[in-house]
Structures are given as structure tokens and as C-alpha cells.
Amino acid sequence: MEKVHEAVRVLYGGSVSESERRCADLYLRGLMNMPCVWELIPLLLAGNGMREEEILYGAISLERQVRNGVIPPSGDIYTFIEGCLSTHRCRNAVVAHLCRALSQVVVHSEGVRDVVVRLVGVYTQRDVPVSVGLNVLYSLGECVRRAVTVDDVKLRQYVDALRCVSETVLRYCVANSNVNVGVECLVVWVTNVGVHVSEIVGCGVDGVVAMSYSRCMSSGCDLLVSCVNCIEGEIESDVSFNCGLRILRHIMSEFRGVASRCTSEEMVNIVCDMTCCAGKIVALYCGRLEWIDVGSYFGVVSVLCQTKSECVSECVSRCIVEVVNGVSHRASSNVYDCFCEHVGESLYGVYNGYLNVQAVIPSGNDESETDRFCASRKGCVVEAVRCVSSVCGVERLLSGVESVLCSGCEWQRVEAAIFIFRCLVRVTESDAQCVLQVHRILLRVLSIVDGDAYLLHAAVACVGRHCDWMHCYAQDISVRALEYVMRFLCVTSLVDVACLSFMNICDACSVEFTPSFATIDRVFSAIYGNCVNQWRVGTNGYSQMIRGYILLLRRQNLSVQCAALRAYLLPAITKLGEATTPVECSVYAAVVNAWVLYGTVLEKRINVMEYSTAIVRVCDSVIVKAVSSGAPSAISAITSLLQDTLFFIGDNITTCYTEFVNRATSWWASSHISNFVSILYFTLRALRLATSMTFLSNSSINIVTIAQQFLIPVVEWIYSQDVDAVYDVVEIVTRILLFITDNCRAKLERTQLASLLPHWIVHFTATSYSSLYIAAINTLKTYLFMSPIREADTFLASNTGSLIATVVGNAAKFHICDPRDAAAGLVAFLFERNPSATAHTTTEAIIKTFPSIPHQLAERFNNIKLKANDIFTIFDDLFATIDEL
């Protein structure tokens, strides 16, 4: 007993080391699997001279035992737990564990209805402390979801028993709903037990919803959701309608007072969530509600619009979308028309208030805050604006946008109007009446040539976003739009959006740009010649601009095409060969790649084929620089270029591939660990080239031999490294193996290659480094997940037992949780894949690996219905027992 006292003190103490706490935890976990635990639990819970942490540990141990179905050999467990509840009724944490233990005993008991009736009768008496009574009732209701090891028949009997006493429980909880746990208890009973709306009304639960809203109680929203779900399940009944109407009217009548008392972000969130949930009632009963009620609801939402926060913005959007979409899906066409007629003005008022407060970019110089706001706005405003347009009409909303653009408002409001316009244009594509409005607005946007960067970004993006609309409806401004975008191609902060818009216009507008091609070519030439200085590495702007230029180039004659390729592609290849830094390698490789990738649209493909040999020759020399620098971005850019040039190389790929693999093989042994992952990524791309080549030529490359000659030495090197970085190396080696396996043409090759993996896994899991052990387990899970089902099943059929024995046996050597959890995760993965086979195999493997453990512990794996959480729990017990032994 003294050892237990000391272990509990260490585990719950605040001034001990992590290793001491871990050892104490392992000792106590192991103790829970010993028969003597039922002698220890009563002593800890007796309370005679015990410290608080010892009493709490006793309650935790009791809950764990009954949850796993372990009941004391003799004595009345109900009497024992109820006695403990009486003794420790003032210790809330202890009471919570005791109540969960009691509910687990109840759900497994015979004559469950009598037991439930007796317990509810006892714990709803006045002489029982309310905190204890509510905790018992909460645990009984929550156990419906937590009883994962109970069979379906017993669970149905348990739920039926709860329904017999649901009215008593609801009335008791309503009477004590002034505390949060009382409302939480109502939530679990309404949600899990399946009470009817008549009981909700009869017991006054709807009144608790109103009260919790008035008080901004955190559990009130969950209760409202549960009640609305019940109402939706009985939507046709008058009782449901009246219940929903009372809740809705209370929220509308109390909203202003509640909103004025919101002094914290948490309270604002509660009010927003409950107001939004009430919108579902409006959507459910729109045809039966008085239109004044529907209008009043939108009046409430309009008040929300006056508060500027991301939470409120999302709430208003959800309210609009919930109601409008709900009504349009559920109501008849006549009801929907009446809805539009009666609530159009209210909804438009919400829309205006929404935009005035929520759609304007915040002032200040905090760029991260502005970016976050823009992302949030994009996620929640778009659908709401489109819903409003379906009720109020697109023309009216477009008129509002046009008035802002014409009135000389501050730039934030103009930017917001452009954003809303982008939300609406797609809606107008089938509405010919809006064409003139959109045309006028686009002309206004094209007149914005200076101002804040966000405003210019919005204007340029808007022009490029709707270029296909211009081609269909307003060809007269297509050339103006292209010239407008081109003026911003040299502006660093706008280069990405300008290049994208340039490409979109060139792609979508098939109008004759020939008169303007000379101008376009001059602008393109000026920017193209200085691309390294103009563009940030990692952006996609320049490749999009090249694509747009090529789309225009394909409409020119052959002589113009050839001249452009000589003027732009050949110098880029030369500069790639002369590049001395990773930045230059990355940029020029991407520039050349854009010509190769998009140049295939030219009518005469020979124009690009002429340069393929030069590209390969340059890459062959530049790759040495890239590997030497250890820059993943440069290696990635160059090998991507090689892959895309593959179409033009033909049989020459054989020589290229052989040289690349030989170079990588010579580099791996002498490379520093920081460069090793980059070299492996390069090798993966080279192998992809080889695999693609085998389908394009008659060459034959034995990729199994390559894997053995290159990858196995790599694995041996990995195993010798005492560094955490090997995790990344293992991951990329696995990806190489999986890629080769997927592309093997012969079944024999696949079988040979797959046989490498078990050797590696056994090799890895024997390590003394936890990071490498975990990497090996994750490697195997990835292989089993990604491999063809038949091959994976064939592997498991003959290797599951030895695999589990090896993995679990090696995990037991680690006295920390992470590798042990990895082993449990692998077994859980195997259970999910094939429960019946894995259950029996796991039991045998555990008994064979650990013959001294109690066999009943290993036999718990025989249950084919085990879930992932159950498997982790059993492994906790298993490793605790092993540590004890």
C-alpha cells in the first residue's frame, strides 16, 4: 500500500520529473490488471486519511475496471458505488468518475429496467444533493453513446428502460436548470434517449431553452439544437409547430436585451449560434408562420450586422443561407413567392447592413489581419450574397454596387462593392436584362488605375475573372481589359494576379487581338527579360503570363512563332545553363518549363522539339549544381522540367536516365543529411522518368535491380544514423518503393519488390531509436493502404502473426507511449482491414511473444467487434502488465 501511495503522489504531484511520473503511471496501470486491485479500490475510496489525489485515483480505477467488464468476485457493486457517492458527494471530480462507473454497471446488468427505475427514483429525491443527482442522470443518458462494448440487444433494452423514466428525469433537470450541468443533462437525454416533442413541451424543456438563451448559458445552444432536431423529426404535428414558434418568438423578443449584455467573445458566440439555429425553425415552418414573425427574425439578424467580428459575419451568413435555402427546398413555389414578397425588404436591409460593416477591409497596417479577414469573407459572404439575390433580384443588388462605384466612396467600400460584384456576375449569365448593368460596372472597374493595393488587386482580379463573360456579351471592352491588365504586369505587388488575369483573358477571348499583338509583345519582352528581379521565387505568375502569351502566339503565323521561340526560349535555356544560385536555377527552370508545358498548343510542335536536346544537355549540367547546393526548390524545378520535356526526348531518355541514377548513387554516401532528402526526391523523379520511358520506347530497364542496388544501401545508411531526420528519409524511400511497385509490369517483379519491405520493417523495428521505430510502423501502414488489395492481403495472410509479434515485442522495449501507441495503431489498422482474421492471429501472437502474461488479457483481442479505442485500451493494459512482470 505504501508503494501505491508513493506512485499516486508522484503521478499527481507537480514537482517531479517526467521520467518519474511516467514510471509511476506505468506502475499504476500495471496494478489495474492485477487481481489485488479490488482490494485496493475500497481502501482508496474509504476516505480514511487518504489524500485527494488518492481518492481520485481510486474512482478512476473503479471506472476503468467496470468499463472493461471486470466486476469484483463478490459483494454488491451497486451498494458499494452508491456508498462511495454518499461519502464523496462534495468532490465533483470523484463524483463524475463514480457516476460513469455506475452507468457502465447498469448497462451490463440483468433486469436493466428495474435497476434504472430504482436509481432514478433514488437520485431524484430531495435529500440527495442536486450535483450528485444530476451527475448520475447525466451519466445514465451519456452511457448510450459510450457503451461501445455492449451488444445491440442489451443497448436497445437499456434505451427502452431510459425512456420509461424520461419524463421524471426531464422534470427533475428542468427544476434544476439554473446550473449548467442541469441543462447538459437535458441535452444528453433529449439527444440520446429519443424523447418526443410532447415530453419536451409537457416537461417545460422549451422554457429552459428560452432561459438558457436569456442567460447566455454555454449549454443552451446544444439544447436548442437537440430540440430543433426533435421538432424536425415530428415536423407535421401541431405540438412541434407550437413548440418551435414559442422558442422562436422568445429569441426574437429577448435578443436586444441579451445582445446588450454580451461582454465577452464567448457570450457573443453563444448568442450567434442560438440565433442561427432559430433560423432553422423559420425554414421548417415558413408556410405556417405569420409573415410578421419571419420579418421579425430578419430584424434580429440585422441587429447582429452592427457588430463587427468574424464570428458575427459567419453567423449572419449562416442565418441567411439556412433560411433562404431551407425555404426554397421545403416550401412550395407559391409559399416561396410569398416569402420573397414579404421578407424581401427585410432581407435587403440585412444585406446592406451586412456589407456596410462586414465586407469592408479593416483599416490599419496589420497585413496578416487583413489577409485573414479577406479569407474569412470569401468563405462566408459569397453564398449569402447569392441567396439574397435569389430573393431580392440580381438587378437590385447590382444597382447598389453601381451606385457605390459612381459615388466616389472611400476605397474600402469600393473594394467591397467589387467583391460583391464578383459574387453576382455568375448569377447574371442567364439573365439578359443584367447585361447592360454588368457592362457599365466593368467599365467603372476599368477606370480604377490608382489607389490602395487591395483595391487594385480586386479590380485586376475582377477583370480577369469575368473575361469569358466579356467575350460572350461585351467584346468591345475585351481589348481594353487586356490593356488594363498589362499595365500592372510590372507592379511587384500585383504581378501574380495580373499574370493570372492576362492568361485568363487570352484563354477565354478568341477575338482578333492581332492589331494589338505588337504592343503585347513589347510589354511581354520588357518583363520577360527581367523575370528574376520582377518575380518572387515560388509564385506561379510568370508561367501564367507565358501561357497567355503562347495562347496569343498560336494565332500568329509560323514565322512569328519561330521568331518568338528564338527570342524568348533559347535565351532562357542559355541562362539556365549559366545559373549560379538556387534562385536562378529555380526561376529559369520554371521559365523554360512553361514554354515546354504550354508550347504544345502551337500548331507546329516541331518549334519546341528543336530545343529538347538543348534542354536536356543543360539540365544534365545544372543538376550537379542543384544537388551540390542541396536546394529542394531547384532540384524540383529542374526535374519537373525534365519530366515535361520527356514528350520531345524520345529514345534519348535511356542515356539521360542512366546518367542521372548513376550520379545520384555516387552522391548519396558522401552527402550530408541535410541534402539527402533532396537527392532522394531527385531519384524518385528519375525513376518516374524511367517508368514513363518504358512505355514510350523499346528499351528495357529492370527497375527491381535498380531498387536493390540503390535503395537497400540507402536503407543500411539510414539505419546507421543517430538522427531524427531519418524519418523524412524513410518516408521518401517508401514513396520510391511504392511508385516502382505500382508501375511494375510483371507480377514476378511486383512479388520480388514487395518481398523487400518485410525485411526493412523487421530491421527498423529492432532499433533503439523511437523515431525510427515509429517511421517503420507508418511505412508499413502506408504500404498496406496504398498497395493493391490482393497483394496486400497475400502479404498479410502469411506474415500477420510474425509481424504483430515482432512489432509489439520491439515496442515493449520502449518505456514511453509514442512507439507503443504506434504498435497499437498498426494492430487497430489490421483489425479494420480484416477483423475476424486479425482477432485470432493477434491473440496467438501476443501469447507466443509474452508467454508469462495472463492468457485472459491476450484473449480480449478475440472480440472481432473491437474498435480502435478498445484496442488502445487493451494495449495499455498489456504493456502495463509486461512492465510489471
pLDDT tens digits, 568-594? 888 888 888 888 777 778 888 888 888
- Residue 181 in any domain: the answer is yes
Radius of gyration of the chain (CA): 35
Cα separation, 742 vs 639, in Å, equals 21
pLDDT per position as a tens digit, 643-671: 677 655 554 555 555 555 555 555 544 55
Range name among 35-49, 156-170, 329-343, 395-409 with the lowest pLDDT average: 35-49
Q: What is the pLDDT of residue 278?
A: 84
Report the pLDDT value the prediction gives residue 431, as an integer from 0 to 100: 62
Read off the pLDDT band of 746 (50, 70, 90). very low
The HSE-up count of residue 542 (CA atoms within 13 Å, CB side) is 28
Query: What pLDDT was estimated at residue 112?
Result: 87
CA-wise closest residue to 812 among 778, 759, 864, 773: 773
Is 455 or 760 the better-scoring residue by pLDDT? 455
* 123 neighbors 138 (Cβ within 8 angstroms): no
User: What is the pLDDT confidence band of residue 505, given thresholds at 50, 70 and 90?
Assistant: confident
Q: Which range in 353-367, 414-428, 688-702 is most confidently predicted, on average pLDDT? A: 414-428
Q: Which residue has the higher pLDDT, 112 or 884?
A: 112
3-state helix, strand, coil in the chain (%, to 5): 80, 0, 20
Q: Which residue has the higher pLDDT, 848 or 684?
A: 848
**Would you say 673 and 643 are in contact if contact means Cβ atoms under 8 Å apart?**
no
Cα distance between residue 413 and residue 531, in whole Å: 34
Residue 514 has pLDDT above 80, yes or no: no
pLDDT digits (tens, 9 = 90+) for 273-326: 888 888 888 888 888 888 888 888 888 887 777 776 667 777 888 888 888 888
- Which of 373-382, 384-393, 497-506, 518-527 comes out lowest in average pLDDT? 373-382
Q: Is the pLDDT of residue 674 over 50?
A: no
Q: Quick one: what percent of the chain has pLDDT higher than 70?
A: 69
Residue found under cell 507480377: 747
Is 308:358 a contact under the CB 8 Å cutoff? yes
Mean pLDDT of the chain, nearest integer: 75
CA distance 387 to 344: 11
The answer to whether residue 884 sits within a structural domain is no
Band of the pLDDT at 701, cuts 50, 70, 90? very low
Is 457 inside any structural domain?
Answer: no
pTM of the model: 0.62
Q: What is the rounded CA–CA span in Å between residue 47 and residue 42?
A: 9
Give DSSP secondary structure letters for 188-223: HHHHHT---HHHHHHTTHHHHHHHHHHTT-TTHHHH
Say if 360 falls within a structural domain. no
Is pLDDT above 70 for 764?
Answer: no
Do residues 397 and 389 make contact, with C-beta atoms less than 8 angstroms apart? yes
Mean pLDDT of 697-704: 46
**Least confident range of 1-10, 324-333, 397-406, 599-608:** 599-608
Location of C-alpha cell 425555404: 327
Torsion of CA 10, 11, 12, 17, to 10 degrees: 60
**Backbone φ and ψ of 219, nearest 5°:** -85, -5
> What is the spatial distance between Cα 182 and Cα 170, in angstroms, rounded to a whole number?
10
pLDDT of residue 110: 83
Q: How would you label 335-373 residue by residue, b for 16+ Cβ within 10 Å and e otherwise?
A: ebebbbebbbebbbbbbebbbebbbbbeeeeeeeeeeeb
Helix or strand (DSSP H, E) at 871:
helix 868-884
pLDDT reported for residue 723: 47
Residue 387 has pLDDT above 50, yes or no: yes
Residue 607 pLDDT level (bands cut at 50, 70, 90): low
The full 3-state SS of 522-541, as one line of letters, equals HHHHHHHCCHHHHCCCCCCH
**Closest C-alpha among 90, 186, 97, 88 to residue 137:** 186
Contact 312, 268 (CB under 8 A): yes
Number of domains in the chain: 1
Residue 488 placed within a domain? no
64, part of any domain:
yes
The share of the chain scoring above pLDDT 90, in percent, equals: 2
Range of the domain at 100: 34-190
Would you say residue 118 lies in a domain? yes
Other CB atoms within a 10 A radius of the CB of residue 43 amount to: 14
Q: Is residue 43 part of a domain?
A: yes
